[in-house]
Amino acid sequence: MQGVRQLVVARISAETSASAHLGEVVRWLIATQSKLLRFVADELPALGQDSLLKLGRPITAPRALLCALWLLEDGDAGECLMAGQLRFVAHPTGSDVRMSFTGGTTTVMKHGPLAQADHAARQLLQAIAGSIERRGDRIGVEMAS
């Protein structure tokens, strides 16, 4: 008999910066939107498991981008770990981009409460920023088949 699993819903928000121009971000988003990006557990230690990132089609505005984001379990069930919006805002005079994620999680918890949801979101943003900064060089992040 399976153990009792608790459904937990949490709001998540996180911010970070990326050393990239908004044009680089657009190219990265377009290149990755039709693929799943695989993150290993070491890249997102707050989650403690491998995951797959799916991005929606970007919506553009002057100095800003917005797209939907889904982080899924890497496995047969493929349950959603996080979902929300990923926002990129370019600095008016600098070359960096401010990234933010707002969303939530409805996760079937297997190892207790999700106390580190915001921390996991920050780790995810840092992994995304690293992928953009490497301009497609998938060191640490590989495309899922």
Tally of CA atoms within 13 A in the half-sphere of 126 that contains its CB: 11
Arithmetic mean of pLDDT, 130-144: 59
What would the DSSP string read from start to end of 35-94? SPEEE-TTTSTTT-S-EEEEE---EEETTEEEEEEEEEESSSS--EEEEEEEEEEE-SSS
Give residue-wise pLDDT tens across range 19-60: 888 889 999 998 888 888 898 888 888 888 899 999 999 999
Parallel/antiparallel/unpaired status of strands 97-109 and 59-61: unpaired
Give me the residues paired with residue 37 across strands.
53, 143
- pTM to 2 decimals? 0.80
Q: Which residues contact residue 139 at a Cβ distance below 8 angstroms, ignoring those fewer than 6 apart?
A: none
The CATH topology of domain 6-133 is Alpha-D-Glucose-1,6-Bisphosphate; Chain A, domain 4 (3.30.530)
Domain range annotation of the chain: 6-133
Let me know if 10 is exposed, middle or buried by CB neighbors in 10 A (0-12, 13-18, 19+): middle
SS3 130: helix
Give residue-wise pLDDT tens across range 62-115: 999 999 999 998 877 778 889 999 999 998 888 889 999 999 886 644 444 455
